[in-house]
Structure 1
Amino acid sequence: KPIKGKGLNKFLNVIQGDLLREQTDVIVICTSSKSLLDSVLEAGGKTLQQSFKNKFKEHAKDPIFSMSTGGRLLAKAIYFVSWQPNSDPNILSQSIEQLVSNVIEKAASENYKSIAFPAIGCGRYGCSIDLVAQIFVRQVQRQLTKYPIMISFVIHPDGTDIYNEFQKHIGSVHEQEKFSSTKSISTKIGQGTIEVKKGDITKEIVDVIIGSSSSDNLLQVLLEAGGEKVAHAYYEQYQSNPNSLIISTLPGKLSCKKIFFLKWEPNKNPEILRQSIIDLIWNVIQNVNSYNFTSIAFPAIGCGEHACSVDIVVKTMVREMKQQIQNRKLPWKIIFIIRPNEENIYDEFCKQLLASNHESIDYKLPSTWQISKEDKMRFDVSKNSNEYKSIVIDFNKSMKKNYQEIIKIERIQNERWYMQYLAHARDFQKRLNENTEKSLYHGCPEDAASSIIQDCFNRSFAGVNGTAYGVGVYFSSNAAYSHGFTKPNSNGERFMFLACVLIGKTTIGNPSMKTRPVGFDSTTDGKHIYVTYHDAQAYAEYLITYK
């Protein structure tokens, strides 16, 4: 029996039977499926056979062409489609998606009201039945929002396994529609709003949709929904920089402005898992902020195929998002999208969202900071102050014979970055039960110094000062060592930061380490060099300009 539901689902069904006996406006035949092609030509009679032979010569390279039926066929028309399988799931998805679009759009333009598809790709080609069914059903569902045409998937009576897969995916469409009217819950956090709802993340109308390059299922869904251009852009960026923490693409067919694919790896260790979620949220916030976006659709990353602890993932994700919005005073709307059948995950998100934020801390800025009405981040430190003198004393421990004069020392007042650093420091203290902050130096050219003041020690600086102990951002307790990475500007001035750095749990590094080793927060040479791998792990407190 057909599986039918309400809404769009009333136009979609799967049956077991003979495609050639379907009384429908259009039947779809793949020209590369010899057995089905031979069967339809035989049923259509000699007139159809001769017409097909002539037309195929003319349209062999076309993705689709149509013919009137005849003989024993009950349909009004046959759509012959050109299609080839592919072992690459992404290419396979794109090809099926395009096939479905071509067929439905053509039928709509010719005023047909019903189409019968065979299970293309599920026979001798040996494609994944689950994947093929999922793509077909999802793409048909999208097209039905534009064209109200009756769609039937006609499965051969021997293909019970194929029938079951199509039935399963059509059933999930019904479940999604059933929950689509479910009221979401939301709460105000500072100037922003966080919402939890059931639904399909590809249908959200927001500035940014978040995906994960580490989740095959989520990646597949977003690339399929976004279309060919999104998939091409994603794989092009991935191939050029496979270690990138984030890949940003245009939305394609999605109703957003950008799609962010984040690199994230699950871990069974609760503390490492918790820290990885904190890092992920921080990465999202930084990138969304850089585009001046204000709305985000977030999936329940880690709660699906990775089978991570739902309690840890959800609690950390919601808590961090609350704190980011509150501490940074962001007027954003965050929507956590939960799939309709994931009731336990939805319940956990609701519980955490509505829980009072007992751990929320009202961070205070340093007493030495000056108040400014301008958007200013650099403030000269008075040469007569103890603040200035203490910096010079430490600088001179290794630099006394390496410079002529200090031109100025500037205090860096980047409130957004400082608040994030404090939040990170709190997490380190809680996790390690000790203060691991060190004052360390970082030398760089003038243009890099200006960039760091605006955007912190982000991953674009990874490896700039060496890779011997890991591909991260390098700091040293020895100012003379950091001096080696400075470059004089046209006035002969050099630039060195004195930074607060959270070294956490550290280990000896090596050039193969592109991210922090599992169980550690930084790497080191065991003497004076420390390498960090997270943007918020260091704060540039002062910039020393000298000759």
Structure 2
Amino acid sequence: MDQYQCPLSLKTNGSEQRTGGSEETARNVTGNLVREIIQRYEGRYTTPPNIKEAVFGSDSTDLQEVCVNLRHGVKLHLVFGDITAETTDAVVNSTNFRDFHGGVCNAILSVAGRHLETSLTQANVNPGAVFITPPGSFPCKSIFHVHGRRKTRIIEQLVYGIIQQCESLQYKSVAIPAICAGAARLDSQAVTDTILLAIKNATSSAPLRHLSSIRLVLIEASLFLTFKRQLVQMFPHDVINAESFIQPLDFLSTISPGEQSVFFFLGLCRKEVDDAKTNVSDLYQAHCSTKTFDKKDLKDLTEADKKALQELLKSEALHVQEDVPGNGGLKVSGLKVGVNKVAQMLHTTTPLRREMKIKEEEKLYTLVTWFILGHDGKWERLPKAARNDLEKGDVAKGVVDKQAKRWSVDLQRMEARSSGQTTKLKRLENRADFTLPADWDNMSPGENLKVVLLQADSTEYQTTQNSFNQTATNTVTKIERVQNVHLRRAYEVQKQRISEKNHVQGASEKSLYHGTSQETCDSIKKNGFNRSFSGKNGAALGQGTYFAVSAHYSVRYAKPAADGSRTMLLARVLTGSYTQGNSSMRFPPPRSSQEPDDRYDTVVDRTNNPNMYVVFNDNQAYPDYLITFY
């Protein structure tokens, strides 16, 4: 138990007895005593002191925070204290945008950071306008900088603008000093009348949907009393005194409660002892605050961050409870200096962690891709949110595809279900410099060529076979997908070049047939097409590689193997812009005589509905499927 005894008095059997000394001396001693109480109290105790008896002058008993219920659920708090201890969403700085080393401006910038002086010096702010900057190290969301210019008309306009800006930014609370009553030395009564009337008008003219707490923070006692008298006159039926902290705080705390401190004060008379009890409670209240942190403020914290937060809550002896049970938010209460440290930690750490998380997710998004098989048999890339949940295995609530359809997930079977429909999931691991196409299978690290045998009952097999049999009556016995990383990468680069040149998305990509021998097919799937072999089956349209629109046309060039089987390639071909070909062409002709370097991409047998395309760049075609038939 801590006991503080005034040397001028003593307590005997519940009564006070004077032992000598002047009342003025007693009050001076008591003032120092109260300051010592606060200093000893800060950071040590989680409940207010158990105040037994106290003594000091009663001249400060009116310096108690008061509250007024305005219209539309807005509360106006009149606070005797330091604005740098506030934890509101917005804080107002009264400045002339030139001198930053005096009054409220100096105090705020000392916390926020002196780097803001550069922005304020360079600001070109019209009279009555609010200049908004980031908070720097101040535990708020924004700082509103205003210049009252010692004119009540401008001060009224500024207060109205502050409230409108808070509403526009969806801020819930704002702390405002007495604009122009400090260094500007404007008449305190004029400042009081102007600010209170402006607040009354701004909050009654139209409903406020977001702003619910306006705090007028006054550091001078005489100015506070002036505001208080005017407030009582303006709102005679709405003034509510702040709750006393003599009763213990009732919080559900995750931190073990600290020791309780008991103070004894010996007084000169009963009235001064009773006044002292109220004053100590008010002093405690003036140094306390409560701030709520949403789930979004906490969700990106690492385990190390959470441990550091727990240590801070413990060292500052703060109370913690769930904001709304189950939603993940926290309400932190205690001494303002401690609450501000928590706010500063979260406002610094959370955005940094969120940025790091976004970068990690972006990096992961390029390296890992999740797909869902659509009703048309094509693989559809899932959105980032679904991809992240699947990677983490966080699928209890299912995933949502690009059409906003929610699917329940079975990761063991790699299946997704929705409304009685079941489909497949697929996960591809990309290369650092190459994204695997959606229809490919995974490839091992360092594996650059993979030939995948398609299942006859798959949509991919049936689509390829049906396309072949539209013009060819031969029997297909096998279809293989060719996955060649080097060839496909070079093909995609060429596709981008032709698209940009022709200002056409996709470079007019077509699926065309190329019939040849089994030996040549094996070479093509490994090394790609080679126009140097042009002429083996004729070169009527030019010395390039030939591709047919119809499988029937290419069947005649597919030479039988020893077992009688034949092979044909179904290739992706970038046809781009084309013109009529002839046997003398070694490359496509220019598209314009004025630009000899701007050439066609391919030549054809006829420009009206071509049957045959010829390419002169090996990277302009990619062997997609190898079809074996009789």
TM range (shorter): 0.3 to 0.5
TM-score, with structure 1 as normaliser: 0.33
Structure showing the higher helix proportion among its residues: 1
- Greater length-normalized contact order (CA 8 Å, ≥ 6 residues apart): 2
TM-score, with structure 2 as normaliser: 0.29
